[in-house]
Amino acid sequence: MLLHLFKRWFEPPAQRTKFRQIVGRFCLISGLGLPCVAKAQVLINESFRNATSSAFTLRNNAVLTANSASGVGDTDGNGYLRLTGNTTSQRGAVISNDAFSAAQGFNISFELFAYANATGGADGFSVFLIDGSTSVANFTPGAFGSSLGYAPATTGTSPNTTTTPGATNGYIGIGLDEYGGFNTSNEGRTGGGTAFVRNTIAVRGNAASSYALLTPTLTASNTGSALGVATTRAQSGSTDYRRATINVTPTGGTFRITVRVQNGTGVVTAVNSFLLNTPPPPTLRLGLAASTGGFTNTHEIRNLYVVVPPTAADDNAVTPNNTPITLNILGNDNPASSSFDYNTIDLNPSTIAIDRTVTVTASNGSTGTFAVNTTTGTVTFTPTNTSSVGSFSVPYVVSTVATTGTNAVPATPTNPATITVQVGGSGADIATSISGPATVQPGTSISYTITTTNVGTTNASTVVPRLTLDQNLTLTSPLPTGANYTNGVLTFPTTGTLAANGSVTYTVTFTAPASTSTVAATASATTTSTDVNAANNNGTAANSRTNTDVSRPLGVQLVHFQARAAGSAVQVVWQTASEENNAYFVVERSTDGTNFVPLAQLEGQGTSAREMSYSYQDQPAVPAVPTTLYYRLRQVDTDGTATLSPIQAVAWAPQLGAPVLHTYPNPMHGQLTVDLTNWPVAPCLVELVDLAGRSHYRQVLTGGEVQQLAVPALATGTYVLRVQGPGRQQAKLVVQQ
């Protein structure tokens, strides 16, 4: 297939124009193994209003109500996905026809309608993700009833029991449970209590864990109001309207899950940033299910979106007594390929209305006001008076600007994040922060920056910062002069006098343990002076406090790295969640897992809070026999500091005679290296064209050599590099940034 595509690029202009236009409309870059910036996009857009669905396959009792065969009678364009009718023992499910990449994270949102028997109804909905390598034909929903089509169940009385397995190759299942059984261990489910608690949202794990309950066992409703209502198909504006949003955010190789439910004009966060304990498979399929038992409700879904999301990160700051401070809260947030709409910054996500000014009260009773500037996208905190001392926090969300076109992305909100401001008192007031990751890739290098600031009004004496860490972390950077590291406690040098508004900062680097992705790190400080606000003397990696916005972790967050055989080549792909001072990556290969040689250098993004994807295709120049090859990344900072990734082993079987075209860096920035060492030593025509077929560079080079191309100034975008030599021709997509 790829060979056919590349041949089409060499057709005369009249024949290839339409083909190139088609290619330009689709994101082929990832499929061809070329680097591509991870951009926000609609992964699934299904309204379920029509008589058919190309996005989902229906199972069991599921019907599209606009389809005449359903017997419901809705007209085309005005239908719903009905998973169950208002009768007993109904079970309906759908599974997405296409799998999508897991690494970049995504938002799932949809309208849900459970009506007829209101709060007495049952059972509820489930939203689940399964391994994307599972074919639709081989997928079977889990048990229905309280298992909601995701978890397994054993029913009946011994010896006449029936066991139904969970959803095929399940990864996670989220139950929006009217009756309350999904949260229990009844019917042989793993984990949970015995009491049914109505109107709860809980998360169950993957098939390997026997679909165990992951979230804590619930003893009370967490949805804010009933999921089932009396109003038939309540629409937006009604107090009975319900819409669910599920944020699936990449974190340390796995996900954090946040589930929010709109109840009329209010929004409730039922599951808040829950960290999953297992990494996802490379791709996922989305499923939806619902069921009834002896109690019933009609269960319907409409207007489903799965979107690669924008993300928001916590912001932390300190300010002296009675001094306002302005924070650029969006500076460490990621709008994906869109941009943030400053008018949507909402300081109270629990209501539908956008709150741009909020007064909050600290634990000691003092108050202060947060206010949004919709022109600059900043938030200013103003203490009420000189007695307003302590910690002040407010949540926020912000939405992106909607895009248009074939692959349009709707205005999409971020996950909720928190702004925290520490206000110093009158006198010496030490505030300590730590900037660094709370979740990491096992075995990778991590850095922590510790800042101790005197936010008070008078000098502080004998200030000693400390950092307490997991004892199985390995210190890899030199200690500051006068520092000491013993039993997991790093004591920094003593500062004799720290003036008001003065600060001291230290950065240290460690290697994360090989067996876990969660790291505990806490910063603290002491002073011999009277500290008027001791509550801000401690900071953690998950809740830092400092006089600048440092909630983005330092260094490069590598969330995915994989090497895999791809015909005669080996495809090396990786993704970063954020980058700081990242100069470049070097792809390295080894035949013994110990001695590595560099293959290519790809330029990094410097400093970026956006997710980035990279790819390199290696045509191994090793003996033409099956062998095991080993790959790793060397990430190099702008100061020369290098960090190595985990090693990936690839069982490689060469395919002789395949043409080889190496280019790097990709993305390129005005320079492109073409490696033709495996081509015949003969003239080769090299041409760089855009997706419309216009030529931007054309030169005859000699095969058998490595050539540097002085590429002219190009607009940002995707181009095709074509090489024609004796008896062979090849094309490759390259990206100009």
Contact 67, 52 (CB under 8 A): yes
For 248-280, give the DSSP string.
EEEETTEEEEEEEEEETTEEEEEEEEEEPSSPP
Kindly report the CATH number assigned to the domain that includes residue 228.
2.60.120
How far is residue 617's CA from residue 31's CA, in Å, rounded to a whole number?
Answer: 12
Residues 673 and 714 in one domain: yes
Residues 625 and 515 in one domain: no
Lowest-confidence pick of 318-322, 432-436, 603-607: 432-436
Kindly report the CATH number assigned to the domain that includes residue 603.
2.60.40.10
How far is residue 65's CA from residue 54's CA, in Å, rounded to a whole number?
Answer: 15
Of 544, 565, 600, at which residue does a domain stop? 544
Pairing type for strands 521-526 and 538-540 reads antiparallel
How far is residue 147's CA from residue 153's CA, in Å, rounded to a whole number?
Answer: 7
Residues 603 and 643 in one domain: yes
**68, part of any domain:** no
**652, part of any domain:** yes
Q: How many domains does the chain have?
A: 5
Residue 367's pLDDT is what?
Answer: 92
For 21-69, give the DSSP string.
HHHHHS--TTTTT--------EEEEE---SS--SSEEEEET-EETTSGG
Residue 635's pLDDT is what?
Answer: 83
Query: ∠ CA(319), CA(324), CA(327), 5° rounding?
Result: 75
What's the mean pLDDT in 322-341? 84
Residues 260 and 132 in one domain: yes
**167, part of any domain:** yes
Most confidently modeled of 24-28, 159-163, 337-341?
159-163
**130, part of any domain:** yes
Kindly report the CATH number assigned to the domain that includes residue 342.
2.60.40
- For residue 364, pLDDT beyond 80: no
**82, part of any domain:** no
- For residue 201, pLDDT beyond 70: yes
What's the mean pLDDT in 71-75? 94
Query: ∠ CA(635), CA(639), CA(640), 5° rounding?
Result: 50
Residues 585 and 674 in one domain: no
Residue 273's pLDDT is what?
Answer: 82
Stronger pLDDT, 396 or 683, i.e. the higher one: 396
Residues 532 and 419 in one domain: no
Residues 206 and 354 in one domain: no
Residues 94 and 189 in one domain: yes
Residue 128's pLDDT is what?
Answer: 97
Contact 207, 172 (CB under 8 A): no
What's the mean pLDDT in 478-502? 88
- For residue 712, pLDDT beyond 70: yes
- For residue 39, pLDDT beyond 70: no
Contact 594, 578 (CB under 8 A): no
Lowest-confidence pick of 26-30, 449-453, 618-622: 26-30
- For residue 370, pLDDT beyond 90: yes
Buried b (16+ CB within 10 A) or exposed e, 62-98: bbbbbbeebebebeeeebbbbbbbbeeebbbbbbbee
Residues 283 and 322 in one domain: no
- Six-digit token string for 12: 């005369």
Stronger pLDDT, 306 or 648, i.e. the higher one: 306
- For residue 21, pLDDT beyond 60: no
How far is residue 709's CA from residue 662's CA, in Å, rounded to a whole number?
Answer: 13
How far is residue 21's CA from residue 694's CA, in Å, rounded to a whole number?
Answer: 12
Q: Report how many helices (DSSP H) and strands (DSSP E) the chain contains, helices first.
A: 2, 49
What burial class does residue 110 get, using C-beta atoms within 10 Å of its C-beta: 0-12 exposed, 13-18 middle, 19+ buried? buried
Q: What are phi and psi of 390, to 5 degrees?
A: 130, -155
Token look-up 């990786």 returns: 574
Residue 17's pLDDT is what?
Answer: 33
SS (HEC) of 285-326: EEEEEEECCCCCCEEEEEEEEEECCCECCCEEEEECCCCCEE
- For residue 147, pLDDT beyond 90: yes
Of 514, 544, 574, at which residue does a domain stop? 544
Stronger pLDDT, 668 or 398, i.e. the higher one: 398
Buried b (16+ CB within 10 A) or exposed e, 114-149: bbbbbeebbbbbbbbbbbbebeeeebebbbbbbbbb
Helix (H, G, I), strand (E, B) or coil at 707: strand
Buried b (16+ CB within 10 A) or exposed e, 222-242: bbbbbbbbeeebbeeeeebbb
Q: How confident is the model at residue 148 (pLDDT cuts 50, 70, 90)?
A: very high
Of 495, 511, 544, at which residue does a domain stop? 544
Residues 108 and 255 in one domain: yes
Residues 647 and 676 in one domain: no
- For residue 12, pLDDT beyond 50: no
At 294-315, the pLDDT tens digits run: 899 999 999 999 988 788 888 8
Determine the structural domain holding residue 286 and report its residue range.
Answer: 90-291
Residue 593's pLDDT is what?
Answer: 66
Residues 106 and 253 in one domain: yes
**52, part of any domain:** no
Q: What are phi and psi of 315, to 5 degrees?
A: -125, 135
At 443-479, the pLDDT tens digits run: 777 778 888 888 888 899 999 998 887 666 788 888 8
Q: How far does CA 562 lie from the centroid of its chain?
A: 17
Closest C-alpha to 432, from 534, 350, 519: 534
At 120-146, the pLDDT tens digits run: 788 999 999 999 999 999 999 999 999
CA distances from 334 to 19, 554, 596 (A): 34, 16, 35
- For residue 56, pLDDT beyond 70: yes
Q: At what angle are helices 2-9 and 13-25 packed, to 10 degrees?
A: 130
Contact 362, 391 (CB under 8 A): yes
**13, part of any domain:** yes
Pairing type for strands 315-319 and 417-423 reads parallel
At 149-194, the pLDDT tens digits run: 999 999 888 788 889 999 999 999 999 999 999 999 999 999 999 9
Buried b (16+ CB within 10 A) or exposed e, 476-486: eeeeeeebeee
Helix (H, G, I), strand (E, B) or coil at 241: coil
- For residue 272, pLDDT beyond 80: yes
> What is the share, in percent, of the chain residues with pLDDT greater than 90?
34
Lowest-confidence pick of 130-144, 223-237, 632-646: 632-646
At 549-602, the pLDDT tens digits run: 222 233 576 767 778 776 667 888 887 777 777 888 888 888 766 667 777 778
SS (HEC) of 602-652: EEEEEEECCCEEEEEEECCCCCCCCEEEEEEEEEEECCCCEEECCCEEEEE
CA distances from 83 to 78, 95, 127, 128, 262 (A): 16, 12, 12, 14, 20
Kindly report the CATH number assigned to the domain that includes residue 682.
2.60.40.3080
Closest C-alpha to 508, from 534, 532, 488, 537: 488
Closest C-alpha to 490, from 498, 482, 500, 501: 482
How far is residue 199's CA from residue 119's CA, in Å, rounded to a whole number?
Answer: 8
**59, part of any domain:** no
